[in-house]
Structure 1
């Protein structure tokens, strides 16, 4: 159902719960599913009941937190997972005790770094529902033999060595629902439930969960337990809580618990219900999420933190509001794309709201910082010189091709003036001619688009709105060597002498359909595929960029290719290829494909959906009617880049299909690597023997990598979260760009026509060749940097305390990845986080002002110890948070 329909049911449930607590003293406790948002949503309707909720929490009857929401772990960033804990703890603390349990009841797989994250948050137990034993639908245990763990309880370890007690819902999280009151019915019920739970429990303490999705509370639970006690006098039936249950279990744990390390993704199953294909359902939602997360954690927070260090108040309230609005899209059935269409209409609005707030904070911070940058060097170019600052908040120094719009020749006006006359004044006195310089006064190659005179306005803090007319230009140029977490300053110099603004004749085009820079050479073939030669490793990658389309008769959860279906590809089909950009700093080709693909699945699929035929038993195939699938690809190479950037535009007119791009690496290896939450996870390319699913898709965050000792290829994406490394001789990476399906799936018939993703779909991805081995870490950093756009801010010509080129937090560490920079809400300290990409120890060096104290922190931003020496040692796969206190 849509959110507000569920909201109404939530209100009814909490009201019923409060009434039951008041009327039944034996109704001991209720667990609010490990989150705080349910209380927030309830109090939105009944704010006057806050004291009642607080009293129940203080009494231990309601358990709240530690999360804000129950997220999907693999489709939300590392920082989103951390903010989820931080905000959940902060909200829960205002009501009473925080539930210190790593609660993952229905995540579609569990992140490998969970134990390290939980330990840093002071949590030593995780309770989860998926990813370990061979399971069927909703985690029903199929066979108790030959499992990863003989018990529901196990030790779960992260790659760094952090451990927590893991408790699996071996009989799902509804194994104690709807307990009968009638003695005869209750006897049958309990005989079954006790036997099933004893089958997997390692202690005498059996966990039964009294509730499920869409279910009201059991108001006669106390009576049902009284009946159970009479029927089974040798058992103690306790209406308990998680804290007491876990304490009892820990006191009796056996010595032979299984140690499970890293990700829990259901790899030792038949492969059908790992639900990994939710990573490709409604790709547009994943793309909006990636944009939103990047905007907040990699741009808004760092810029606000830098501005705070220069004297500006940090916008804690607005930042938390933006994060909360984003995280309201992070529950697994939301971000995974497996809900009804109405859910996604509202999600798009939430993304827009969060990004509007984040963008406003970015603009505010960038203007504040820019006003403190010394731009006086540009005064010598005349009073019309227009300065602007480019910010690189990715955490990695880099060169980047920048496009921005500037305005000059401003003419403010008031209501008594004729706007048409003002427009003409600006038009008569301004023009689009000129040249670009950096802070050393060097002229730069630049492409200029004259946008003419346009209206604009300012909203000053000290007076009424200020409308104006100004001449606008769109500039594209290469900003070389932007410092990490820093800025560089440039200026546009208006000048009528066109000779001085003429670009150089340098080009990256070296032959027909060939472009190259110092690092790589790219040659486009007649069918639109391309080869890439890596000059550093002297290795060639061929037949890249072939598109593959197949049928899909599955659902939003699970991809299912029809029996006998043959892939339709662009291989060997002539493409339309043309050069679309040729500047000294960037070259680009446009490649146009038209594939004739089946319009939809045949009519049998509709019948199978309506009659709830399980997807594995469906016999439908693709229809005979064909429609054109138009794919427009732009491949571009920048002068200073080690990567090829790709933009794919898909005009989707077909239903019930999946489109992927094939990227042969030429490397046959049993292992590959994928960016995950605070780690680059090592994964097996060939699935376990019990795996039956012909598809072996996997999750990724920013990239997937296949490498050998001397060569490797990293494929990075923006909001593309599903890939498969094919079991061929070429080590082919298949990156999913689009999946079109028409039903939700799961337990009923829910049509989702919007999930067909008809119309224009866009995918952005990048290819980064490297020298393999330890050389891969530079490629990983390039993949992270690729996802973070630069920020620009126009400013005036003025003196300032900041130099025109400056880094606010320089750091070094070959295997280290930058994660976040923000301000601690409690003490105002700067908090910076990195993590070790390698499964071997590494070092981190940080350059800060001399009058600063550095200290180790956990992810909750609590000081643990002072930093004594540099470089700072970091354990394998370690997540390190450093607090910086100005002295």
Structure 2
């Protein structure tokens, strides 16, 4: 390049959604065509420097599934830098996923890319509807020093394109938002105008039928609603437009601090290699005397940027990048098609918090850490995480495919869980028991000890005729229990070496007190028969008995030592917290309002109607009751508009909720348990109406300045009052992971969940928290800003049918930190596993044992697994608290060596050992710590 001229770095790429406007295999055909053309371009044009495959690597895997013969060529071009892949595997949306999923995505993307020849050494984001606050630490943990930010930081926060992005732990990274139109600047402003002769932003940009070349459109009943296809390339270079078009792209990045060197990103959704690009650049270089343009790599530009930047002038931008307005970061897709998010949370919990830790335990006792099964499950999960896929902003067929992949991941992780538990059980020494004894093992995958009331099902051989029994733990302590039901049954017993054996049993359903179950371990209990019965008796059979200390003493109240719950006629609850002497009312009512927006943006109709269930008359009944647990149910019916009238372009036609009404039913099950400080809620909503948003509301009465919500390796603190005089109400609905909390410092109110992603802490005197249950919207896909794919016969986005949720209401003293809310949320998301067994031989483990533990519970464990590239184990923890936390990680196996690693599992230092079984740990606020342990294989 001429050193006397300003430089324009043209970086060409595609933004490739694995599935979005079109289902997977239709999109795969377009991908194959794209890469076939790219390879032809690279083969025939040495001046074509490089093409970015959107910062991901799965597209190469997808391509090679169809074109395996091109593996060698693909690898050669990646190694030469002419094709750029990774660092991501797939392009995830961020807020519906947990932090560990993002780390696994980068780990897999980098490794697969490196197998192909190398990965892009830039944190490249063409995805994400808002960027999480911990990305600076995550990216630095993978060795990146610059990030290309997609959506969304405003000009108010970052007036210059370049800025320093600071995470909650203080980690800083250089970032650039690129400028106007971001990654599509040169493509939209220059390429399209030069090659079509039409300004993309003007009304002139449209199909001209007589000049379109070969057109293909399905005209039958099965396909008429699909897009037209343009089969013939009719582009030609309009030389007279080169100067103006290129100048517009140049001016669009005027916000850069290095004005003499500018990046001009050339690409957009599904764009191809654009073989004429080198010719356009030659024309531009012949026209401009003061500028020089080159088709180059993103690395070449960012190296020059880092060299020339005046770092002292860079503004520091802190926290998440999720600035409004809502369309700028697709802010309201968090609870579209909620069944996808609910299933994904089950998968994440099952894989990261149960299957992997239990697999480590299995290896400790001589079993197999089955990495192949785990890798398959994780791959299925990651393939469901692309931003359009996980949000379901697609055609219904694609959603079915995503649900299939998540269900595969869930099934595999369930198989692994049971296999690992079986390995643990068979290694327990049961010599002290009789061969007729019935044993129960409670397995705790969490790194903290737990004591809970749990529901279990125990089978006793029918010939034993057991009517009642006690549960005694391995220390001889009698556990409290509550009988629910018993019934006869015949259960198949699988035998790999024979035909299944029929097992004739009485199945007893009961609640039981566990006592303390060791962290990362198990506890054994024995069933002790106390009463038998005559199976043939018709009269004077055994009766059920009661101790008279039931939690519910009337059909609409429940009470334990901490809480008093009263169910109101409208189905809400009043809750009295005995610890803080605080009365809460109007908890758990429903709000329904119109929504004629799209997948990405909530948009109420102009003549809207908003309804609540506060005026409803609920049907209330006592579902379950005893000394350990009581459940009161309420059925609420709401007459709601059956649909809304949606104006085209939000202006043409009527905008209101319809006149026809249908009945929506919500069944709420409130459960209070012995010794519990929270009310557990199960909710079933039978949605029958369209075009609306449905939320559950809690008037906490707490005057809080901020809301606190579990985020990605942090707790996101956000102001309750809007931060601008003119604000976007759509931006007040906010992401969450496992809890949201309001506190005035003296008392607090938390909502724990395992299935929700969006909340709003409302700026009102009632201190209302709203949890979004779903947005019911039409299947309209934004192809580009003037046209859309419309699929009126596809109703999946309307969420018609039954939706089920679980959450808990948790009043407490002080703040979320004082009340150990993260620990409580862990128990909500990671249940104890119960296994029935009997006496067997060959085991050596004690009846009560911990394989690993983390102290204190202020440390949150996000992963415990085998290392990717070594025969060692990785534990990842983070400190979401506001102060430094010091603690210990204990293992029952001896530690041969321990190291700190970065997030990509590269060793960065030695870990101090307290003794041969314990690691000393210290972390500042919001720090992620990754440990690697080389341990004895068996304890």
Question: TM-score, length-normalised on structure 1?
Answer: 0.91
Aligned CA distance change for structure 1 residues 325 and 431 (closer, same or farther; 3 Å):
same
Residue number in structure 1 paired with 2:158: 149
Q: Please tell me whether residue 743 in structure 1 is matched to residue 798 in structure 2.
A: no
Q: Please tell me whether residue 126 in structure 1 is matched to residue 147 in structure 2.
A: yes
Residue number in structure 1 paired with 2:208: none
Look up the SS of the partner of 2:887 in the other structure. strand
Residue number in structure 2 paired with 1:860: 904
Q: Please tell me whether residue 476 in structure 1 is matched to residue 510 in structure 2.
A: yes
Q: How does 1:531-610 map to 2 (within 5 A)?
A: 531-602=574-645, 605=646, 608=647
Decide whether the 8 Å contact of 2:341 with 2:755 is kept in 1. yes
Q: Please tell me whether residue 78 in structure 1 is matched to residue 99 in structure 2.
A: yes
Decide whether the 8 Å contact of 1:375 with 1:489 is kept in 2. no
Report the alpha carbon displacement of residue 472 of structure 1 after superposing the two structures with TM: 6.0
Residues 173-226 of structure 1 show CA distances to partners (whole Å, capped at 9, x for unaligned) of 111223633321212211211111234453422122222112222011111111
Q: How does 1:726-741 map to 2 (within 5 A)?
A: 726-741=762-777
Residue number in structure 2 paired with 1:420: none
Decide whether the 8 Å contact of 1:399 with 1:640 is kept in 2. no
Q: Please tell me whether residue 299 in structure 1 is matched to residue 354 in structure 2.
A: yes
Moved more, 30-39 or 803-812: 803-812
Aligned CA distance change for structure 1 residues 850 and 330 (closer, same or farther; 3 Å):
closer
Aligned CA distance change for structure 1 residues 22 and 690 (closer, same or farther; 3 Å):
farther
Residue number in structure 1 paired with 2:339: 284
Look up the SS of the partner of 2:669 in the other structure. strand
Q: Which one of 893, 916, 921 corresponds to residue 872 of structure 1?
A: 921
Look up the SS of the partner of 1:482 in the other structure. coil
Report the alpha carbon displacement of residue 82 of structure 1 after superposing the two structures with TM: 1.0
Aligned CA distance change for structure 1 residues 464 and 545 (closer, same or farther; 3 Å):
same
Residue number in structure 2 paired with 1:329: 384
Moved more, 736-745 or 617-626: 617-626
Report the alpha carbon displacement of residue 538 of structure 1 after superposing the two structures with TM: 2.4
CA distance in 2, matches of 1:378, 1:516: 38
Decide whether the 8 Å contact of 2:707 with 2:719 is kept in 1. yes
Q: Which one of 264, 268, 277 corresponds to residue 212 of structure 1?
A: 268
CA distance in 1, matches of 2:716, 2:771: 17
Q: How does 1:451-462 map to 2 (within 5 A)?
A: 451-458=487-494, 460=496
Q: Please tell me whether residue 260 in structure 1 is matched to residue 317 in structure 2.
A: yes
Look up the SS of the partner of 1:881 in the other structure. strand
Report the alpha carbon displacement of residue 884 of structure 1 after superposing the two structures with TM: 2.0
Q: Please tell me whether residue 222 in structure 1 is matched to residue 254 in structure 2.
A: no
CA distance in 2, matches of 1:572, 1:392: 43
Moved more, 89-98 or 864-873: 864-873
CA distance in 2, matches of 1:561, 1:761: 22
Moved more, 498-507 or 640-649: 498-507
Moved more, 854-863 or 670-679: 854-863
Residue number in structure 1 paired with 2:559: 516
Q: Which one of 175, 186, 211 corresponds to residue 176 of structure 1?
A: 186
Q: Please tell me whether residue 396 in structure 1 is matched to residue 436 in structure 2.
A: no
Structure 2: state its 5+ residue gaps.
1-21, 195-236, 534-541, 915-919
Decide whether the 8 Å contact of 1:432 with 1:473 is kept in 2. no
Residue number in structure 2 paired with 1:24: 45
Q: How does 1:623-642 map to 2 (within 5 A)?
A: 623-642=658-677
Residue number in structure 2 paired with 1:10: 31
Report the alpha carbon displacement of residue 533 of structure 1 after superposing the two structures with TM: 2.0
Look up the SS of the partner of 2:419 in the other structure. helix
Decide whether the 8 Å contact of 1:431 with 1:471 is kept in 2. no
Residue number in structure 2 paired with 1:698: 734
Decide whether the 8 Å contact of 2:257 with 2:309 is kept in 1. no
Aligned CA distance change for structure 1 residues 822 and 545 (closer, same or farther; 3 Å):
same
Residue number in structure 1 paired with 2:197: none
Q: Which one of 783, 808, 826 corresponds to residue 766 of structure 1?
A: 808
Q: Please tell me whether residue 527 in structure 1 is matched to residue 582 in structure 2.
A: no
Report the alpha carbon displacement of residue 229 of structure 1 after superposing the two structures with TM: 1.1
CA distance in 2, matches of 1:540, 1:397: 31
Q: Which one of 792, 812, 819 corresponds to residue 834 of structure 2?
A: 792
Moved more, 283-292 or 208-217: 208-217
Q: Please tell me whether residue 839 in structure 1 is matched to residue 890 in structure 2.
A: no
Look up the SS of the partner of 1:115 in the other structure. helix
Aligned CA distance change for structure 1 residues 271 and 378 (closer, same or farther; 3 Å):
same
Report the alpha carbon displacement of residue 328 of structure 1 after superposing the two structures with TM: 0.8
Report the alpha carbon displacement of residue 336 of structure 1 after superposing the two structures with TM: 1.8
Aligned CA distance change for structure 1 residues 119 and 465 (closer, same or farther; 3 Å):
farther
Look up the SS of the partner of 1:369 in the other structure. helix
Aligned CA distance change for structure 1 residues 858 and 622 (closer, same or farther; 3 Å):
same
- Number of residue pairs aligned between Structure 1 and Structure 2: 843
Q: Which one of 857, 864, 889 corresponds to residue 821 of structure 1?
A: 864
Residues 285-342 of structure 1 show CA distances to partners (whole Å, capped at 9, x for unaligned) of 1101111111100111110011111122211122111111011111111112211211
Decide whether the 8 Å contact of 1:183 with 1:231 is kept in 2. no
Residue number in structure 2 paired with 1:663: 698
Look up the SS of the partner of 2:905 in the other structure. coil
Q: How does 1:352-371 map to 2 (within 5 A)?
A: 352-371=407-426
Look up the SS of the partner of 2:291 in the other structure. coil
Decide whether the 8 Å contact of 2:443 with 2:522 is kept in 1. yes
CA distance in 1, matches of 2:545, 2:123: 61
CA distance in 1, matches of 2:652, 2:754: 35
Residue number in structure 2 paired with 1:141: none
CA distance in 2, matches of 1:597, 1:640: 39
Decide whether the 8 Å contact of 1:557 with 1:745 is kept in 2. no
Look up the SS of the partner of 2:452 in the other structure. strand
Residue number in structure 2 paired with 1:167: 176
Look up the SS of the partner of 1:548 in the other structure. strand
Report the alpha carbon displacement of residue 825 of structure 1 after superposing the two structures with TM: 2.9
Aligned CA distance change for structure 1 residues 98 and 566 (closer, same or farther; 3 Å):
same
Q: Please tell me whether residue 275 in structure 1 is matched to residue 330 in structure 2.
A: yes
CA distance in 2, matches of 1:742, 1:211: 29
Residues 753-789 of structure 1 show CA distances to partners (whole Å, capped at 9, x for unaligned) of 1111111111211111111236545122202220112
Q: Please tell me whether residue 491 in structure 1 is matched to residue 526 in structure 2.
A: yes
Decide whether the 8 Å contact of 1:153 with 1:202 is kept in 2. no
Report the alpha carbon displacement of residue 548 of structure 1 after superposing the two structures with TM: 0.9
CA distance in 2, matches of 1:588, 1:554: 38
Q: Which one of 391, 403, 415 corresponds to residue 348 of structure 1?
A: 403
Report the alpha carbon displacement of residue 493 of structure 1 after superposing the two structures with TM: 4.8
Structure 1: state its 5+ residue gaps.
135-146, 410-426
Moved more, 509-518 or 69-78: 509-518
Decide whether the 8 Å contact of 1:69 with 1:330 is kept in 2. yes
Look up the SS of the partner of 2:413 in the other structure. helix
Look up the SS of the partner of 1:278 in the other structure. coil
Report the alpha carbon displacement of residue 284 of structure 1 after superposing the two structures with TM: 0.9
Residues 484-507 of structure 1 show CA distances to partners (whole Å, capped at 9, x for unaligned) of 222122234567525899664432
Decide whether the 8 Å contact of 1:107 with 1:128 is kept in 2. no
Look up the SS of the partner of 1:41 in the other structure. helix
Moved more, 527-536 or 322-331: 527-536
